[in-house]
Amino acid sequence: METPVNTAVKFLVSEPEEFYFDNGDGPFYGVIVGYSPGVMFVKARSELRYNNKKLRYLAAVARYDGESISELKGDLHLVVNLAPILIDDGVSDTSLEELVNLAKQFRGQHLIGEIWVAV
C-alpha cells in the first residue's frame, strides 16, 4: 500500500557530491504529489539546484532489488534513486502526467539518497 498523496517526506542526497556543494547536507523536505508504477513523485518544499537549474520535483525509485517504494511507511526509510525533474522557472505547477513524461525523458545521472515519511 502506497503512502498517501500529500504526505510530507524528508530526504537526503548522498551522491553526487555536487548536490551537497549546491544545497548543503539536508535533510530536505517535500510532499508526495503522485505515483506511477514503482515511482513516487515528490515536490521539494525549498528551492534546490541541480546542474545550475532549479529542481522542483524528484522521481523516487527503490534502489535495491526486492524493495518497493510502497514500503515507505512510518519510521521506515528506503535507499532510492532520485531522478531530478527540472521545470522551467515560469511554470507554477505540473500535472502528474507531465511528471511521468518528464521522468521518462531523463537521461542523466541519478541522485542517490534516502527518503522517509516526515515525522
- How many residues belong to the chain? 119
Give the pLDDT confidence score for residue 11 in this predicted structure. Answer: 94
Q: Which residues of 10-34 are buried (b: 16+ CB within 10 A; e: fewer)?
A: bbbbeeeeebeeebeebebebebbb
Is the per-residue pLDDT at 57 higher than 80? yes
Mean of pLDDT values over 29-41: 91
How far apart are the C-alpha atoms of 55 and 46, rounded to whole Å?
A: 9
Helix segments in the chain, DSSP class H: 17-23, 96-105
Using a 10 angstrom Cβ sphere, with 0-12 exposed, 13-18 middle and 19 or more buried, the burial of residue 115 is: buried
Residue 65 near residue 38, CB atoms below 8 Å: no
pLDDT digits (tens, 9 = 90+) for 60-95: 988 888 888 877 776 678 888 898 887 666 666 777
